[in-house]
Amino acid sequence: MQTSLKPELIEKELISTLTFEKSSEVKQHPNLMGQISNATRLGNAYHTKVSIYFNDDLGLKRVDTTIWAFGAKYICLKGGVWLPISRIVEIKS
């Protein structure tokens, strides 16, 4: 899946300042959960950063960081930052 719009590159520390309140349909990669699982393994075993493409209430963003863990609704990034899975478009390693 290719992201058609140019995302705004942000630092992971800014994610906590973003809003995810609006109800929005996000077209997600068909194997997103596989991408999350693989990125988590890379983060824990090799401290490898991945590019996470996601939508906040203002539009498409990209963050390059390490994923430490994931659950049913959120991923946990390095530094204890949480991102809702429902807003993730795709993850590229």
Alpha carbons 40 and 68: distance in angstroms, whole number:
6
**pLDDT score recorded for residue 25:** 85
The per-residue pLDDT string of the chain (93 residues; one tens digit each, 9 = 90 and over) reads 555 679 999 999 999 999 999 888 899 999 999 999 999 999 999 999 999 999 999 999 999 999 999 999 999 998 899 999 999 999 999
Q: In the chain, where are the structural domains located? A: 8-92
Domain 8-92: give its CATH architecture. Roll (2.30)
**pLDDT score recorded for residue 1:** 54
Q: What are phi and psi of 76, to 5 degrees?
A: -110, 120
